[in-house]
């Protein structure tokens, strides 16, 4: 699952701007009047709010993509014909690629997610 690149770029840009504002404020704060200090802190606060908004947008996109993945897996699971003992995710016997399918094998998993999880554990 890869988040939308524009959301990631937005987070990175907001953090860069926030960092730049903080650095500028730190360099010049000693000579600031109280009013200018408050103004500088308000600018930094605004940048920090932009960082928070950008991160919120990124989280929303990741959640949306995760929801789409859930729908995909649910669709595959619902398409089951009930063949055999369950599901397996494995390399094809001819080595031509990965296979996710129903099987009668003894090591079958109860569902699509479990078959994928078993393959992940086997790779470790």
pLDDT tens-digit readout, 80-108: 888 888 999 998 989 899 999 999 999 89
- On whether both 26 and 66 belong to a single domain, the answer is yes
- On whether both 98 and 116 belong to a single domain, the answer is yes
pTM for the structure as a whole: 0.52
**Looking at per-residue confidence, does 65 or 106 come out higher?**
106
- On whether both 68 and 90 belong to a single domain, the answer is no
Owning domain of residue 111: 86-123
User: Residue 112's closest CA among 123, 122, 124, 102?
Assistant: 102
- On whether both 56 and 103 belong to a single domain, the answer is no
With 80 as the cut, is the pLDDT of residue 21 above it? no
Q: What is the pLDDT of residue 37?
A: 67
Q: How far apart are CA 37 and CA 43, in angstroms?
A: 10
- On whether both 119 and 64 belong to a single domain, the answer is no
- On whether both 74 and 13 belong to a single domain, the answer is yes
- On whether both 44 and 11 belong to a single domain, the answer is yes
With 50 as the cut, is the pLDDT of residue 124 above it? yes
Query: CB neighbours (10 Å) of residue 8?
Result: 15
The total number of structural domains in the chain stands at: 2
Q: What is the pLDDT of residue 46?
A: 73
């Amino acid at each position: 699952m890869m988040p939308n690149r524009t959301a990631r770029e937005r987070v990175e840009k907001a953090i860069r701007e926030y960092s730049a504002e903080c650095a500028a404020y730190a360099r010049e704060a000693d000579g600031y009047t109280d009013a200018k200090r408050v103004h500088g802190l308000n600018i930094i606060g605004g940048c920090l709010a932009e960082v928070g908004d950008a991160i919120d947008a990124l989280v929303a996109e990741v959640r949306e993509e995760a929801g789409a993945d859930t729908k995909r897996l649910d669709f595959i699971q619902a398409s089951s014909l009930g063949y055999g003992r369950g599901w397996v995710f494995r390399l094809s016997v001819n080595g031509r690629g990965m296979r996710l399918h129903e099987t009668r094998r003894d090591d079958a998993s109860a569902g699509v997610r479990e078959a994928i999880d078993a393959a992940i554990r086997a790779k470790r």
